[in-house]
Structure 1
Amino acid sequence: MKTTGWISAVLAGVLGGSLYAADANAPKQALNSNYTLVYNAVPGEAESFTEMFSEGEFYARLRSNTFYYKWQTETAKQDSHLISALGGSLVYRSAGYGGFDFGMGLYYSQAFFDDSNDPVNTLKPGKDVLSRYDYVNTGNKGMGALGQAYIAYSGIPKTRIAVGRQLVETFYTKSNDTKMIPNTFDGIVIDTKAVPATAVRVAYLAEQKLRDHTQAHSVLMYGDANSSSSERPEWSENDDSAMHKGLTYTRLKAAGKPTDAPLITGDLHNTAIANLKLDGAFYIVPELVSEVMAEANYKVSLGSVSLTPGVRYIKQFDNGAGKVGGAAYSGKLAGQSGAAGGYKEADSLDAQMVAARIVAQLGKYKLNFGYTQVFDEADLITPWRGFPTAGYTRSMARYNWMANTKSYRVELQRAANKTGVFTDLFVQASFLHTDADESKGYYDENYYYLGFVQNLPMLADLQWRLRLGYNDTEKPDADSLDARFELNYLF
């Protein structure tokens, strides 16, 4: 679809959505601090097939993002830069009829940056507001994508089955919609609450479409010259920052491994025991790698204060990917130039992680002390925007699940809520110390983060966000400032 078509579609949603918002007591949709959407107006049940369409709901969104990245020292690979983007989305959700419903979502982003001064290959967080692969091959700074296209069935008691392209929120997969277009997957997702006090989600995901891609791609294959003859073939497949870059098309083919293996993943949440929340998760990429996660959090109320200690354990199993790509997610094999050293078994991806935290809450304030340790084995492989250290020692843009890494974080939140409307200023501040293993090519660092979210009091549909991260690292000349400002108008 041409750019003008996308703009027309979004404007149509704007006009229709504005009429609805004028009469609503609450915003039609709202945005949580973690970027998941809250739908206050949800389609009901239709009495006929035609009402399935006419009683559906449109959800429109206009947004802008600006990213400024400042390096302490600039080099050929470290370029301080500014990049902005404008865009939006139009999502339609049908009413239910006969147990069926469906949804579609169109997304668009137009990037603004000067490639002559800020080369596209040096862009950091702002790279996701355009498709770098499309840009180097066509010169297009705009990006349109079909982000959602699914049909769902809820005719089974307490169960919903959705098939198609969709947002998949599990421990290992996230929409992570922090840029302009969310991370989505093509596959089947089953949700059920058939077991008392237990929620289960299982997904079979054939392909992924990362935030800066216009086409779906393999969930765990890194592009190379043999997978595409276009410029920068490494940007054509899974090029997530946390992707195992050793799992290339060429290496997988040579090893007789699939280049299009699916991602099978699932979550379990149990609250059968008062104040105790038990969580479990797994993923399997057949013939390559798999993981399991177990977590427990217990809430203790002490008058006006609550304390919630939590623990998490992750075990990663190498099912053949280690011999293909090595233990380091950088993809450098032993004996190669620039190979990461220090791995006890350089061709094994068997790995483990433990984590602990205690969360204290008093009124609108929440204090989180977290610790994580990845054993001295292999790096953790989770390139689907779900972060294994999330909630413990994950801060903006920090990957701290490399082998033999210990991390410590203290985080303070003010005025968090689950409505997605922050009339009271939401503040999140944290300090993260990462004790890395220099023999593996990583460095100790201190990371300082400060974030704000607020909906304008006079216009609750409009929300602004400011996020600031400063990295103080022991790697020479690598200190940096990451500043992000965003506006979202939801209706």
Structure 2
Amino acid sequence: MKKKSTQISLLVSALIISTSLYSADEISKRTLKTNYQEVYNEKPGSVENFRDMFLDGKFYGRLRSNTFYYAWEKETATQDSHLITALGGSVVYKSATYSNFDFTAGLYYTQAFFDDNSDPVNLLKAGKDVLSRFDNTNTGSKSMGVLGQAYISYKGIPKTELLVGRQLVETFYTKSNDTKMIPNTFDGIVIETKIIPDTTVKLGYLAEQKLRDHTESHSALMYGDSNSTSSNNPAWSENDDTAMHKGFTYTRLKAAGVDTEAPLIVGDLHNNSVENLKIDVSFYAVPELVSEMMAEANYKIKMGDFSIAPGVRYIKQFDNGGGDIGGATYSGTLAGISGQSGGYKNANSLDSQMLAARLVGNYANYKLNLGYSQVFDEADLITPWRGFPTAGYTRSMARYNWMANTKSYRVEVVRNANKKGVYTDLFVQMSILHTDADEAKGYFDENYYYVGFAQNIPSFKDLQWRLRLGYNDTKKVDADNLDGRFELNYLF
């Protein structure tokens, strides 16, 4: 209790300080886009001495609440309709720049509220990330207080920034994905440069990850088991993301002589040297396990007030030894089972591919996105760092559709998109997704209907509300469900 009280006191004190310092601001220092990425409209400047580096820094406060309602068509021993809510916030401090150096630190806190007698923590769905399930089952805690960001930045190289420490890493394969209460962060080194004309390059060496529902950093691609910790629910102690390859357990990696703390190496390249053509190339690699490369092209054709942009994305996944350890499916169910294919052509290979295409039309404040994706009949795609391979094509809220031999089709309509993160006019996003899955591999066809709203209160623009609803209609017996989410964010 003393630790929890200290955490709460620390957060409240910092919020009071930041409010008193910046309550008179007329322009929002920070705004929030619908993809949950923050936009810092005001940043500290440069100073001439070390002391002013601290004095001229800025605080950025945030209070938020998140409520999740999940209803199953039929409740079973493993399907529980439930309601969970959370309150919390964060304080981020950015120092001024001195001799090309500055630093950022962010404290985050969340307190979950749910009845664990009627709604067991192991049956929570989307709302599970507002607390640490691992801490809850071992200590009873329903709160988290963490140092979410702590990094140093160096800008002494022309058009280049070097960041070292715990940070948000936004690349194709890694995202902060701050849809709950605490963002997904990484401990490592990132360098971003625009030294090549019309090109942005970002490279990262990420030693560890800290998922949204974890209080401690953990391996980027290792699944906990009874040999990695003696605590209850060891699977929740390491990378337990929904899309984690659960065949990469501590025990299996050790037996194969593979580093259980292997780093995640990522890279992005964005090029706009040809007018109206955007080229994106990305990669990731986890030594001795698996790697991927992604190439994408989008070309915009302008016709007065209307534009149309065809796009295509290709992903190639390479098995670097992980297939023999964990198998072809990220569920890990085939690992070590001799002679069982599970519907996979090669149950011990992670080699795979994905092809996706889309057509995006924009007129006034409306956008129409027609998307298609196909994962080849090889292996599941391994991407458990909150970057989604089908994003922008056939990704809808909470839907994973990059399992082997899966085809997906989506129609999306968006109204009032805004890159600045201020939605005075109501933002609306609606989509219908059909997924044609391979039942031989244990997956099922489904139709997913989604609608999302976001708006900044016109008379109180720093307060933003969001409502998101997703309904899943599947061929799996009694698996239909409603996923409802309501959120409030106050940034100051």
Name the TM tier (shorter chain). over 0.9
Q: Secondary structure at the match of 2:75?
A: coil
Matched, 1:167 2:168: yes
Give the match's secondary structure for 2:469: strand
Q: Distance in 2 between matches of 1:334 and 1:158?
A: 46
| CA shift for structure 1 position 8 | 2.6
Q: 1:20 offset after TM fit, Å?
A: 4.8
The corresponding residue for 1:438 is 439
| Partner of residue 67, structure 2 | 66
Alpha-carbon distance change, 105 to 59 in structure 1, aligned in 2, over 3 angstroms: same
Counting only pairs closer than 5 Å after superposition, residues 416-455 of structure 1 correspond to structure 2 as: 416-455=417-456
The answer to whether the 8 A contact 1:413-1:428 is kept is yes
The answer (yes or no) to whether the contact 1:208–1:216 under 8 Å persists in 2 is yes
- SS for the counterpart of 1:23 is coil
Are the equivalent residues in 1 in contact too, given 2:325–2:335 (CA < 8 A)? no
**SS at 1:5 equivalent:** helix
Contact 2:247 2:335 in 1 (8 A): no
Q: Equivalents in 2 of 1:339, 1:328: separation in Å?
A: 12
Alpha-carbon contact 1:9-1:90 (below 8 Å) kept: no
* 1:11 Cα offset (Å): 2.4
* 1:204-223 to 2 correspondences below 5 Å: 204-223=205-224
Structure 1 residues 31 and 255, CA gap change in structure 2 (3 angstroms): same
Report the equivalent of 1:298.
299
Scaled by the length of structure 1, the TM-score of the pair is: 0.98
**Superposition pairs of residues 350-389 of structure 1, within 5 angstroms:** 350-389=351-390
Determine whether 1:332 maps to 2:298: no
Is 2:61–2:90's contact at 8 Å kept on the other side of the alignment? yes
Q: Relative to structure 1, is the Cα distance of residues 334 and 386 closer, same or farther in structure 2, using a 3 angstrom cutoff? A: closer
State the distance in 1 between where 2:250 and 2:182 align. Answer: 26
Structure 1 residues 447 and 303: alpha-carbon distance in aligned structure 2, compared to 1, 3 A threshold: same
Q: Secondary structure at the match of 2:13?
A: helix
Give the Å deviation of 1:31.
Answer: 0.5
**Cα distance, 1:336 vs structure 2:** 4.0
Tell me the C-alpha RMSD between the 2 structures: 1.3
* Correspondence list, 1:25-36, <5 A: 25-36=26-37
Listed one character per residue, the Cα deviations across residues 269-312 of structure 1 (whole Å, up to 9, x for unaligned) are: 00001100000000000010000000000000011100011000
Query: 2: CA distance between counterparts of 1:282 and 1:384?
Result: 13
Partners in 2 of 1:21 and 1:463 — Cα distance? 18
- After superposition, what is the alpha-carbon deviation per residue over 1:171-195, rounded to whole angstroms, capped at 9, x for unaligned? 0000000000000000000010010
Distance in 2 separating the partners of 1:122 and 1:197: 48
CA–CA separation in structure 2 for the residues paired with 1:407 and 1:267: 25
Matched AA of 1:393 = T
Instruction: Identify the range of structure 1 (20-29 vs 419-428) with the bigger mean alpha-carbon deviation.
Output: 20-29
Residue 176 of structure 1 corresponds to 177
Match of 1:86 in 2: 87
Equivalent-residue separation in structure 2 for 1:269 and 1:427 (angstroms): 28
Is the Cα–Cα contact under 8 Å of residues 334 and 341 in structure 1 kept in the other structure? no
1:476-491 → structure 2 map (5 Å cutoff): 476-491=477-492
Residue 2 of structure 1 aligns to a residue in which SS? helix
Shift of 1:382: 0.2
Shift of residue 47 of structure 1? 1.3
Take 1:199 and 1:156, find their aligned partners in 2: how far apart are those partners?
Answer: 15
Give the total of aligned pairs: 491
Which residue of structure 2 lines up, in the alignment, with residue 261 of structure 1?
262
Q: Shift of residue 337 of structure 1?
A: 11
Taking a change above 3 Å as real, the CA distance of residues 428 and 481 of structure 1, as seen in their structure-2 partners, is: same
Compute the displacement of 1:476 (Å).
0.5
**Cα distance in 1 for residues equivalent to 2:418 and 2:330:** 36
1:18 pairs with 2:19: yes
Contact kept in structure 1, 2:334 and 2:342, CA below 8 Å: no
Deviation at 1:6, TM superposition (A): 2.7
- Alpha carbons of 1:189 and 1:233: their partners in 2 closer, same or farther (altered >3 Å)? same
SS of the equivalent of 2:186 reads strand
Unaligned runs of 5+ in 1: none
Question: Who is 1:47 aligned against?
Answer: 48
The alignment-based identity, stated in percent, is: 70
Quick one: distance in 1 between partners of 2:336 and 2:200?
47
Give me the whole-angstrom Cα distance separating, in 1, the residues matched to 2:259 and 2:334.
20
Assess, with a 3 A threshold, how the Cα gap between structure 1 residues 54 and 460 changes in structure 2: closer, same or farther. Answer: same
Indicate how the Cα distance of structure 1 residues 338 and 323 shifts in structure 2: closer, same or farther if over 3 A, else same: closer
Give the distance between the partners of 2:414 and 2:381, measured in 1 at CA.
Answer: 28
Deviation for aligned residue 1:17: 3.2
- The one-letter code matched in structure 2 to 1:56 is G
Could you list the per-position Cα deviations for residues 310-363 of structure 1 after superposition, in whole angstroms to 9, with x for gaps in the alignment? 000000000000000000000012674997711000000000000000100001
Alignment of 1:79-228 (within 5 A): 79-228=80-229
Post-superposition offset of 1:159? 0.7
TM-score, with length taken from structure 2:
0.98
Q: How does 1:283-322 map to 2 (within 5 A)?
A: 283-322=284-323
Give me the whole-angstrom Cα distance separating, in 2, the residues matched to 1:478 and 1:319. Answer: 35
| Distance of 2:122 and 2:484 partners within structure 1 | 19
